[in-house]
Amino acid sequence: MTKQTDNTDLLRDVKIGDLTFKNRVFMAPLTRARSDKDGHTQTPLHALYYAQRASAGLIISEATQISQEGQGYAWTPGIFTDAQVKSWQVVNNAIHNAGGHIFCQLWHVGAISHRVFQPDHNQPVSSSVWTPKGEAFVGDYLEDGPTVPHAEARALSKAEIKRLIDDYKHAAQSAKDAGFDGVELHAANGYLIDQFMRDSVNKRDDEYGGSIENRLRLLNEIIDALLEVLPAQRIGVRLSPTGGPGGSYDSAPEALYLAAAKALSGKGLAYIHVIRPNNHTGDGSNKEGMGSLMDKMREAFDGAFIANGEFTPDEANQWIKSKRADAIAFGRPYIANPDLVERIASNAALNAPDAATFYGGQYEGYTDYPSLKKTQNAL
């Protein structure tokens, strides 16, 4: 007999910014590497995948690069060309027709890349000269793939930083044109903005390096640029005090990320989305210690707080009930359970995801997971 659990709090609606979401079960951004290789566009298959999951309170899109320079993985989507905007319109129409909401996660990987993805095969860029640990996922872009060692990244000049901020602004406008309900700025997981924030990478001696205030400067300037395109209540920010590819870290994560939460307050932003340690972005240790920091970040930030990091539905409900979070973002459970909300509501068992089909491919392991009842095609 299935244990009956009351997840009423998790299933209640919530107003964040100027939108009301039908529940607090949010879909975390999930890179699935199925976009068109050359144009980095979405397809009708993506529309079906997302529409199947439209019962989520909010879908946060897979990480979506703001420029060609921002790409770091094979077959990931962009939001900087007209073709990409049109392809996302099909996806977003399907989600909205199914009664859902979606924010676009704006992404620049920085050093977590490879020359094969870069314009003219240039070096990847970062806050400072840095060679990330590990390997880049290049798929079939190189004959000796699918993974190859990361190359050394070079430091962005101050003139290039101004261009970078314009790239974020252009991507936000493109996301608006594509019909997204808002955007989430990806400032987590050791990617470009985090590479400016974390002192293991950022060795700059100008106004973008040194003190915590300086290392947060790029984050703040990008937010200011996004506010020129979108209302504040349609902008969220993702942060991760630990973990991520490449091996970056900060020597004082509590001071840095608490300062980030404070810096993002007073702007009217919709939410911050904070990832606790988990086995996907690290070794999953110190969940309780980082939970304490998350509580402090929630107190410091004046908008909604979304938590993420291997939550069970029961634990998620407890965080909502005790007001530690306004919503919980689920990642891998949404890979295998398009009807996750319905399963939580009925205490049904969850499908197990197939790790072999996480990245690349077509419908297998993407749109073919069974739901409790036949999925309606929302296209």
pLDDT over threshold 50, residue 316: yes
Q: What is the end-to-end Cα distance of the chain in Å, rounded?
A: 37
* Chain centroid offset of residue 363 CA: 22
How far apart (Å, rounded) are the C-alpha atoms in residues 368 and 210? 49
Instruction: Write down the pLDDT at residue 379.
Output: 44
pTM: 0.94
- When pLDDT is cut at 50, 70 and 90, the band that residue 68 belongs to is very high
Instruction: Write down the pLDDT at residue 219.
Output: 98
| CB-CB contact of 238 with 231 (8 Å) | no
Q: What are the two backbone dihedrals, phi and then psi, of residue 117, each rounded to the nearest 5 degrees?
A: -90, -15
Mean pLDDT of 336-357: 96
- When pLDDT is cut at 50, 70 and 90, the band that residue 244 belongs to is confident
How far apart (Å, rounded) are the C-alpha atoms in residues 376 and 94? 11
Percent of the chain with pLDDT over 90: 90
| CB-CB contact of 338 with 375 (8 Å) | yes
pLDDT over threshold 50, residue 377: no
Which pair of tokens denotes residue 249?
Answer: 């870290």
Bridge partners, residue 104, by sequence: 183
Instruction: Write down the pLDDT at residue 166.
Output: 98
Which pair of tokens denotes residue 89?
Answer: 């319109």
pLDDT over threshold 80, residue 374: no
How far apart (Å, rounded) are the C-alpha atoms in residues 136 and 51? 30
Which pair of tokens denotes residue 23?
Answer: 């529940």
What would the pLDDT profile of 8-49 be if each residue is shown by its tens digit?
999 999 999 999 999 999 999 999 999 999 999 999 999 999
Candidate list 50, 191, 257, 271, residue with the active-site label: 191
Task: Tell me whether strands 19-21 and 271-275 are parallel, antiparallel or unpaired.
Answer: unpaired
Contacts of 4 (CB under 8 A, 6+ apart): 347
Peptide bond into 77 cis (omega under 30): no
> Would residue 271 show up in a list of annotated catalytic residues for this protein?
no
- 49 by Cβ neighbours in 10 Å (0-12 / 13-18 / 19+) ranks as buried
What would the pLDDT profile of 161-216 be if each residue is shown by its tens digit?
999 999 999 999 999 999 999 999 999 999 999 999 999 999 999 999 999 999 99
| CB-CB contact of 222 with 184 (8 Å) | no
Mean pLDDT of 260-289: 77
The full set of domains in the chain, from first to last, is 8-357 (3.20.20.70)
- When pLDDT is cut at 50, 70 and 90, the band that residue 278 belongs to is low
- When pLDDT is cut at 50, 70 and 90, the band that residue 243 belongs to is confident
Instruction: Write down the pLDDT at residue 318.
Output: 97
What would the pLDDT profile of 78-93 be if each residue is shown by its tens digit?
999 999 999 999 999 9
| 201 closest CA partner among 147, 148, 153, 258 | 153
Q: Between the CA of residue 101 and those of 97, 223, 263, what are the distances in Å?
A: 10, 22, 27
Q: Between the CA of residue 345 and those of 6, 9, 186, 193, what are the distances in Å?
A: 8, 11, 30, 37
Instruction: Write down the pLDDT at residue 196.
Output: 98
Instruction: Write down the pLDDT at residue 290.
Output: 64
pLDDT over threshold 90, residue 3: no
Which pair of tokens denotes residue 349?
Answer: 């068992």
What would the pLDDT profile of 129-170 be if each residue is shown by its tens digit?
999 999 999 999 999 889 999 999 999 999 999 999 999 999
